[in-house]
Amino acid sequence: MSEHVNPRVLPTLRIVMAALLGLSWQYGHWGPVLSLMLIPLVVMDGTRCHPTIRYRYGIALAYYLSGSHGLIEGSASFFGPGHVPMGIALWLASSALLAAGWAFADSAWKVIAVLVVDALPPLGLFDWLSPLASAGVLFPGASWVGLLMLLTGVYLLVRWMTQGLPMDLKWRHVCTDTLGFLAGMALMLNVFTAVNPAVVPKGWTGMNLHLGPITGNVMADMARNQEWISQTQAKAGHAKVVLLPETLTTWWAGNAAEIQAAVPKGRTWLVGASVPVGPALLADGIEAVHGTGGVGVEGKGNGAKAEESRLLFVSPFPVPVSMWHPWYRGHGYVRADGVGYEAGWWEPAHEVDGVRAWASICYDQLLPWVWMEGVAQEPQVVLLTNNEWWARGTGIPEIQRATSWAWVRLMGAPVVEAENA
């Protein structure tokens, strides 16, 4: 470095660049596209004025703090303005924990370890903004092979940056040939995907609604049910399978019967619902309701009559603190009683109308480990259900969409999406 350059300038510039990378997740698909740039920013050598561990930690911390700042406003919207301090605490704690591993990422294998450890529980329970999502950008449709190709490329590039190429001429050629092969595969897969885009199964559609949350007022919620049922009947047309947004209703017997009666004969509605599964415990799931009175789908029953509906999908990990909170139990089935949601942990694919489908429910769409469950099962269609009324103006929905786009692209499957704004 020239003696005329302030040694603090480059580290500061890299911290600013990392913060911009975090913010890019809120603007279209730029987050997954650019997220890999975090790795060279972190592993580049620091200066004597910025000890390596602190420098690397600062880079990663800037990335996560800037990208997840919507937690503050999101907490205030969901819980109320008085919960801003809790939102700040969640924002700072999650960013600090996710950045911690990067402080020690001074070699290729440590970078790979950080990517994997951050993506899997327990850190994976809040690992937004994972650079692993870039596998879908580079290797669309390649499934698990694409993820392995990404990790191989990252390993070789970081080793090149930190240690240089192997001195042995043979291994130097192996490294450069492997990187060239990965680049060629990325180009070929992107061209193939552009020419042969995934197509949604014929007769499948998703409903976008603007209902806001369940109110807790019995009469108001009955009217709300009638409103979304009427909208679905009017807009779904002749669709055979209709996907509806997350937590659209609570699956009481009366609501279930009302919806069952509304589904046209021969059609299947996949209804996002809070489903009672135990004392003071709900599942954030998708109920499959078939219009003929038969099931028409594979799935595990929830205690209702088999011919009425099936609880087909359960969220592996509902929103922590607000929905998933096993550290205390309530005593009823409404929010005032402190009811909690169970974590399903594993989301199996199921056959719906002859098509192998896999669902990602709201918060799950931010988490790499949940997406890896879907990648492993290679579904023919991916169902995305969202409930975004609480996150308006926070950037969280944009991060969710960018993450979903990248992982679905890696899977190579078409998407049916339903959102309640």
For 5-31, write each residue's pLDDT tens digit.
Answer: 455 556 788 899 999 999 999 999 999
CATH number at residue 394: 3.60.110.10
Across residues 295-299, what is the average pLDDT?
A: 43
Residue 122: inside a domain: yes
* Same structural domain, 161 and 272: no
Residue 4: inside a domain: no
Residue 14: inside a domain: yes
Residue 173: inside a domain: yes
Percent of the chain predicted with pLDDT > 70: 86
* Same structural domain, 169 and 223: no
Across residues 138-153, what is the average pLDDT?
A: 96
* Same structural domain, 148 and 61: yes
The pLDDT of residue 1 = 46
Mark 122-159 as b/e (b = at least 16 C-beta within 10 Å): ebbbbbbbbbbbbbbbbbbbbbeebbebbbebbbbbbb
Residue 277: inside a domain: yes
Across residues 168-176, what is the average pLDDT?
A: 74
Residue where a domain terminates, one of 195, 221, 252: 195
Place of tokens 């607000």: 322
Residue where a domain terminates, one of 177, 195, 213: 195
For the purposes of burial, counting CB atoms within 10 Å of the CB of 213, is it exposed (0-12), middle (13-18) or buried (19 or more)? middle
Q: ∠ at Cα 60 (57, 63), nearest 5°?
A: 145
The tens digit of pLDDT for each residue in 80-121 reads 666 788 889 999 999 999 999 999 998 899 999 999 999 999
CA dihedral for 341, 346, 347, 349, sign (positive or negative): negative
Q: What's the domain range around 284?
A: 204-420
The tens digit of pLDDT for each residue in 298-339 reads 444 444 444 567 899 999 999 888 788 888 766 666 655 567
Residue 3: inside a domain: no
* Same structural domain, 286 and 337: yes
Residue 307: inside a domain: yes
The pLDDT of residue 332 = 65
Contact 315, 285 (CB under 8 A): yes
The pLDDT of residue 296 = 41
The pLDDT of residue 45 = 63
* Same structural domain, 186 and 209: no
Residue 132: inside a domain: yes
The pLDDT of residue 293 = 46
Indicate the helix (H) or strand (E) that contains 317.
none
Contact 374, 382 (CB under 8 A): yes
Residue where a domain terminates, one of 195, 224, 240: 195
* Same structural domain, 300 and 224: yes
Average pLDDT over the chain, rounded to an integer = 86
**271 or 237: whose pLDDT is higher?**
271
Give yes or no for residue 263 having a pLDDT over 50: yes
Instruction: Band the pLDDT of 172: cuts 50, 70, 90.
Output: confident
Q: In Å, how far from its chain's centre is CA 369?
A: 9
* Same structural domain, 191 and 208: no
The tens digit of pLDDT for each residue in 65-76 reads 999 998 888 777
SS3 call for 134: helix
Nearest to 32 by CA among 376, 359, 372, 405: 405
* Same structural domain, 92 and 234: no
* Same structural domain, 238 and 180: no
CA dihedral for 62, 68, 73, 79, sign (positive or negative): negative
The domain total for the chain is: 2
Instruction: Please tell me the distance from the alpha carbon of residue 91 to that of residue 179, in angstroms, as a whole number.
Output: 37
SS3 call for 145: helix
Mark 200-212 as b/e (b = at least 16 C-beta within 10 Å): bbeebbbbebebe
For 57-62, the CB contacts below 8 A with 24+ separation are 57/99, 57/100, 57/102, 57/103, 58/11, 58/15, 59/14, 59/15, 59/18, 59/102, 60/18, 60/98, 60/99, 60/102, 60/103, 61/95, 61/96, 61/99, 62/15, 62/16, 62/18, 62/19, 62/22
Instruction: Band the pLDDT of 44: cuts 50, 70, 90.
Output: confident
**End-to-end Cα distance, the chain:** 52
* Same structural domain, 169 and 66: yes
* Same structural domain, 140 and 260: no
Mark 6-17 as b/e (b = at least 16 C-beta within 10 Å): eeeebbeebbeb
* Same structural domain, 355 and 273: yes
Tokens of 153: 């490329």
